[in-house]
Amino acid sequence: MGFNIITEKPFWYIIFCIALGVGISIILYRKDRTLSEVHPWIKRTLAILRAIVITFIAFLLLTPLLKSISHEKEKPIVIIAQDNSSSIVTNKDSAFYRKEYAAKLNALIDELGKKYDIKTLNWGDHVSDKIDYSYNEKQTDFSDLMSEINVQYSNRNVGAIVIASDGLYNRGSNPVYASASLKVPVYTIALGDSSIQRDLFISKVNFNKTAYLGNTFPIEVSLTARQLSGAATTLTVSLDSLSLFTRNISISGNQFTQTIPVYLEAKTKGIHHYKISLAPVSGEMTTVNNVKDIFVEVLESKQKILIVANAPHPDLAAFKNAIESNENYEVKTVMADKFDPARAGLNEYNLIIVHELPSRDKVAADVLSKISSAKIPTLYVLGAQTSETAFNAQSAGLEIDGSLNKTNDVVPALSPDFSLFTVSDETRATMQQFPPLLCPFGDYREKANVYVMLKQQIGSVVSNKPMLMFNESSDRKIGVLAGEGIWRWRLSDFQLKGNFNASNEIITKTIQYLATRENKSHFRVISKNNFAENEPITFDAEVYNDNYEMVNTPDVTISITNADKKSFPFTFSKTEKSYSLNAGFFPSGTYHYKATAKLGDKIYNSDGEFSVSALQVEQSETVADHQLMYALAHKNGGEMYYPNQLDQLAKALEARDDIKTVSYTHIKMQDLVNMKWVFFLLLLLLSAEWFLRKRNGAY
């Protein structure tokens, strides 16, 4: 490490500092008669100490900076990522992967650790840091792994990435294309068995998670048989222990596939558990993939959403697709100039989305007046064509002074005080990377009883202007999205995660809140009806006093009961104004819950049910995809190896001349006046001078 001192003024100014220090010292001690009888060397010592102090203080007035230069070496990083999904151990080699392979990979890690900085990752449906060889992940997502590597190791000296997997993925985008962002050599270890074994399995089940009372709903079952020509099996669909459908199937050919439609009646409301199974065939390598469990919720009717738009816009399709991802809703879209509110039957709709109305060329006063008179919950979507003056007259809880008719590119920022509903941590993280919306420019004024979910963020500054807000002060629920371009959020969502989960969650929870009829109960529990097996069970709760003001003073408890009547008690955590609970992970099945809150001397209860769907995608395919592992390696400048070739992998990495130690130079600038040692040095010099003066009788 090297040091250097620089100043804002020319360095030769130090001559004046020395002259000032020496001059003041001479003047002071030449005329000091109190030291006339002391030894001359003491007087000279005192003068020197004073000269040094004055010189140093004068030098500090030049604002000197201490420049330090340090050099740091970073060993090349080799990332080893182990596929921990359950498909690795569905074949006959499961014992090998749990013991022998684990020992070989650990030996490889130890060998490479002598030369490289080894970082290990365990991955399947999520990414963790330590390889545990448990093979219990329910899904495989290569793109999530690569995204995590980019986040954790960007701007680091990553020399190579080693990915050990069977090449089977069932979530996220194709890993060959997703790996384009890595920019480093990728080596692969091909796990699993790529040979075709005797196996019968349910490859896919297509069904709607929601059906409606009294209707017939379809279930489409696709089955596959390999190397089982001439065998026979039976497909059975049962509800609990009652068999509803059976069909005998003769297998013809060693590569046999068949899709069978099944039609069932929705006779009773609630969540129903259907079991789909294939009778085992002699010689199958596994029977785990012969069974699928599905859950269907039977409802009385769908909620209807109407979109009234100023003009065609990609936002309209974005809203429709996001809303209809929840099968409880159906959406109709109509242009304002072709909409007759008198004939539309407005009362049939649970919510109306008004897109860029009133606009500058279509005030649509009749349409908006009829919607307001019908007291139907409304979501206003504002944009470049919105007439701010006409919008301010809608009493939506927000007024915009936008006389300049300009717009701003604004990104969303989640308000920490929002309490009407919650969004998942994954959505919160994804939302930070969403592109901007086009928001009306102007001064925003909110009225009382307004809840702001999203604020407008420009650059790194989060303003107090709302982007998405809700108004409960009127005689109907009103929401305002002050920005157009939400279709960009869906595209960005898919680009980042390979799905629309985050954008769908924001839109569907907004719609769910607005479309739900006002609930005058004092205690409400809010939750999804269906969860995946690898998804935590979450609840929100709200308690209202007699004035219907939200409070969170009492404790809220809940008891979850499974099909075997075993109960699991929990207590909700208190948030800003309401309650939340993360109950963790539950095995697949149907569950009932009963929540309780005591407010004063009154006890309130809320009952409901939910289902947990088993994730069986890892068992649906038993033939490893080594071709994908080969393509992944060769596209990124690496090679594919098998578990018995790990020593060759180590040699290949060591033979590369582009995996090198990197030296970094760090330059640090510090104000000399802010350093503690400078203060203590001056204090020491002044104390020494004072001590010598006092000891020799001076003052």
Neighbours of 696 (CB within 10 A): 15
Do the domains 320-515 and 523-612 sit in the same CATH topology, yes or no? no
Residues 6+ apart with CB under 8 A from 673: 60, 63, 64
User: Which residue shows structure tokens 């948030």?
Assistant: 575
Q: What is the pLDDT of residues 333-382, one digit of tens each?
A: 999 888 887 777 888 898 999 999 998 888 788 888 888 888 889 999 99
Q: Is-contact 5 672, C-beta < 8 A?
A: yes
- As a whole number, mean pLDDT of residues 432-451 equals 89
Alpha-helical runs (H) found in 379-460: 388-392, 425-431
Instruction: Measure the CA angle with vertex 569, ends 567 and 572; round to 5°.
Output: 150
Calpha distance 592→314 (Å, rounded): 41
CATH superfamily of 199-300: Immunoglobulins (2.60.40.10)
Can you give the residue ranges of every domain in the chain? 2-70+668-695, 76-195+623-660, 199-300, 320-515, 523-612
Calpha distance 560→256 (Å, rounded): 43
Q: What is the pLDDT of residues 621-630, one digit of tens each?
A: 778 889 999 9
What would the two tokens of residue 190 be?
């091909």
Phi and psi at residue 168, to the nearest 5°: -90, 125
What would the two tokens of residue 530 be?
């269906």
Rg (CA), the chain: 36
Domain 76-195+623-660 fold is: Rossmann fold (3.40.50)
Neighbours of 652 (CB within 10 A): 16
Yes or no: domain 320-515 corresponds to CATH 1.10.10? no
Report, at the CATH architecture level, how domain 523-612 is classified. Sandwich (2.60)
* Distances 309 to 58, 141, 383 between C-alpha atoms, Å: 72, 38, 12
End-to-end CA distance of the chain: 45
Q: What is the pLDDT of residues 502-557, one digit of tens each?
A: 999 999 989 988 887 665 678 989 888 888 888 899 999 999 887 777 888 999 99
Q: What is the pLDDT of residues 75-128, one digit of tens each?
A: 899 999 999 988 888 777 778 888 999 999 999 999 999 999 999 999 988 898
Beta strands at 65-74 and 478-482: parallel, antiparallel or unpaired: unpaired
Give bridge partners of residue 139 from the DSSP assignment.
none
Residue 426 pLDDT: 85
Residue 597 pLDDT: 94
Burial per residue of 69-103, b for 16 or more beta-carbon CB atoms within 10 angstroms, e otherwise: eeeeeebbbbbbbbbbbbbbbbbebeeebeeebee
Residue 71 pLDDT: 75
Calpha distance 71→666 (Å, rounded): 6
Length of the chain: 699
Residue 404 pLDDT: 65
Calpha distance 86→437 (Å, rounded): 41
Indicate the pTM of the whole model. Answer: 0.58
DSSP notation for 561-625: E-TT--EEEEEPEE-SSSEEEE-----SEEEEEEEEEEETTEEEEEEEEEEEE---GGGS--S--
Residue 474 pLDDT: 61
